[in-house]
């Protein structure tokens, strides 16, 4: 039986979600998306600069991928809700990642405002994916508010520091019944693999792919790591032990016994 992620009213086979920011050009971004096979792609919403003749980014997102607009730029729930509505009206579909940040140094999300925005947008029929700091009680509130998943950060956005929040993410995976998707700070494929081994439903990666020397290669590497981590999780990872447990038999040794 195929391992499919059922989320936000859809069936997703590729558990690597990719962000489209920071690529040096849209063509490179397209190659990375193709190389990874990622089905879910995030975009941001901004004022149009009429003077810059920039291409429409949607022309560079391969066919059949799902767009998840993010509310980046929002400093409170009201701004997030406004951005989400604009994104939907611009044709992004009903999936939205809530990103509410007031902290410019670490870009850590404001969980309270994120909850407020989630409550409003769920009622308006959005499938809401809140980006959050991994606090279990807030995650429970987001579940009650009707979020489609919770998206705890691994480490600060763009920091490539990996799953520094591992312990808290692990708790969330055990206690939260909706998909847990680690988003932000994953710096290398093994970080993504680590999240999947913990039991996360998916991961969202942007910077580590976009600024790699070879984004398409890195996107593929991440995709493979996500598959490996997921298969490992499904296969039952053995627990750790303080002392050794011999791998070869302890009998029939080739030695004289007195």
Partner 1 sequence: MQIKINGKRETVQSSLSLGELILGKGLTPEHIVVEHNYNIIAQEEWGKITVRDNDNIEIISFVGGG
As annotated, the active-site residues are 97
For partner 1, the closer CB: 85 or 164 = 85
For partner 1, the closer CB: 44 or 171 = 44
State the nearest-atom distance from the C-beta of 113 to partner 1, in Å.
Answer: 18
**Under 8 Å between Cβ of 128 and 118:** yes
State the nearest-atom distance from the C-beta of 13 to partner 1, in Å.
Answer: 22
Residues 6 or more apart whose Cβ sits within 8 Å of residue 190? 225
Residues 6 or more apart whose Cβ sits within 8 Å of residue 38? 14, 16, 17, 18, 65, 219, 223
Among 31, 5, 256, which Cα is nearest to 129's? 5
State the nearest-atom distance from the C-beta of 175 to partner 1, in Å.
Answer: 26
Q: Give the span between the Cα atoms of 118 and 185, in whole angstroms.
A: 23
CA dist list (Å): 235 to 29, 161, 238 = 33, 27, 9
State the nearest-atom distance from the C-beta of 5 to partner 1, in Å.
Answer: 20
Q: Interface residues with partner 1 (CB under 8 A)?
A: 19-23, 26, 29, 42-48, 50, 56-58, 67, 69-70, 72, 82, 85-87, 89-92, 157-158, 184, 204, 206-207
Sign of CA dihedral 17, 69, 101, 119: negative
For partner 1, the closer CB: 58 or 143 = 58
């Amino acid at each position: 039986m195929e391992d499919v992620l059922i989320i936000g009213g859809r069936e997703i086979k590729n558990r690597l979600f990719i962000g489209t920011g920071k690529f040096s050009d849209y063509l490179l971004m397209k190659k990375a998306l193709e190389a990874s096979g990622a089905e879910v792609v995030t975009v941001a919403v901004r004022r149009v600069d009429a003077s810059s003749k920039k291409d429409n980014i949607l022309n560079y997102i391969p066919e059949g991928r799902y767009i998840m607009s993010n509310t980046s730029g929002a400093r409170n729930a009201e701004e997030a809700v406004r951005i989400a509505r604009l994104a939907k009206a611009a044709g992004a579909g009903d999936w939205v990642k809530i990103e509410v940040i007031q902290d410019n140094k670490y870009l850590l999300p404001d969980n309270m405002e994120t909850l407020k925005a989630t409550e409003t947008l769920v009622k308006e029929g959005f499938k809401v994916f809140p980006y959050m700091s991994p606090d279990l009680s807030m995650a429970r509130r987001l579940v009650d508010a009707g979020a489609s998943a919770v998206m705890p950060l691994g480490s600060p956005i763009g920091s490539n520091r990996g799953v520094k929040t591992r312990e808290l993410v692990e708790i969330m995976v055990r206690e939260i019944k909706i998909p847990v998707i680690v988003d932000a700070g994953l710096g290398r494929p093994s970080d993504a693999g680590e999240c999947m081994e913990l039991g996360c439903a998916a991961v969202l990666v942007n910077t580590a792919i976009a600024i790699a020397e070879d984004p398409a290669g890195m996107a593929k590497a991440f995709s493979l790591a996500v598959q490996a981590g997921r298969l490992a999780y499904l296969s039952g990872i053995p627990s750790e032990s303080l002392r050794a447990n011999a791998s070869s038999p302890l009998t029939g040794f080739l030695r004289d016994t007195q």
